Amino acid sequence: MDARTQKLAETDTRNLRDEYKGLANEQVFARLAEKRSALEVAIENVEHDFNAGTIVRSANNFNAARVHIIGRRKYNRRGAMCTDKYLEVVHWGSVAEFVADQRARGQEIVAIENHTERARPLAQMRFRERTTLVFGSEGAGLSAEMLAAADEVREIESLGSTRSVNVGVAAGIAMYEWARQCRLGGGDDE
């Protein structure tokens, strides 16, 4: 690291790991792109903008290849803590367009949803590398169209009195489980 970059790194207040301090946003994006995972994340009509921003931030933390926003385009970038600058964010006007893209690129669609009989425990899921995790609004959940298109529907098991966790929390849990199995070597041999 040259002296100028070192000085920038020392004064860089962004929430970045040290190896990215002092780099321009485009440089951070490029370095992350060199080691992106095959994980993708999709958000369908999440009603609370801060939740969508939180999901984008978590997707960056797990170095997801991209985030898909289906339906509503607006989300709270403040909640994302500017991490949307370090990964690709794609907007889709409809579920059909999103699903066509996923099928063309060989992504498995895994819906995280607890409001349907089709849901099976997340703990029993064996993830494929090329997975897209899909999250919906806390109130209405995912649309019937999205649930019908999903290859798998999984729920995060509840051990307490509430039947679900906040969608931003759910996204972090599901992304970590994918990373544990596909990137961190935490498969069945534990």
Q: At 3, is the pLDDT very low, low, confident or very high (cuts 50, 70, 90)?
A: low
Q: Quick one: pLDDT at residue 129? A: 96
Q: Quick one: pLDDT at residue 7? A: 62
CB 45 within 8 A of CB 137: yes
In order of their start, the domains of the chain are 26-182 (3.40.1280.10)
- C-alpha neighbours within 13 Å on the C-beta side of residue 74: 3
Q: Burial, 189: exposed, middle or buried (Cβ in 10 Å; 0-12, 13-18, 19+)?
A: exposed
- Percent of the chain surpassing pLDDT 70: 81
Residue 76 sits at the vertex; the CA angle it makes with 72 and 79, to the nearest 5 degrees, is 140
Q: What is the pTM of this model?
A: 0.86
CB 167 within 8 A of CB 42: no
Which of 129, 189, 168, 180 lies closest to 46 in space, CA to CA?
A: 168
Q: What is the mean pLDDT of residues 93-122?
A: 95
Cα distances from 121 to residues 116, 157, 158, 168, in angstroms, run: 12, 6, 10, 18
For residue 4, pLDDT over 70 is answered with no
State pLDDT tens for residues 52-106. Answer: 888 988 999 999 999 999 986 555 454 445 567 778 889 999 999 999 999 999 9
State pLDDT tens for residues 149-180. Answer: 999 999 999 888 877 888 999 999 999 999 99
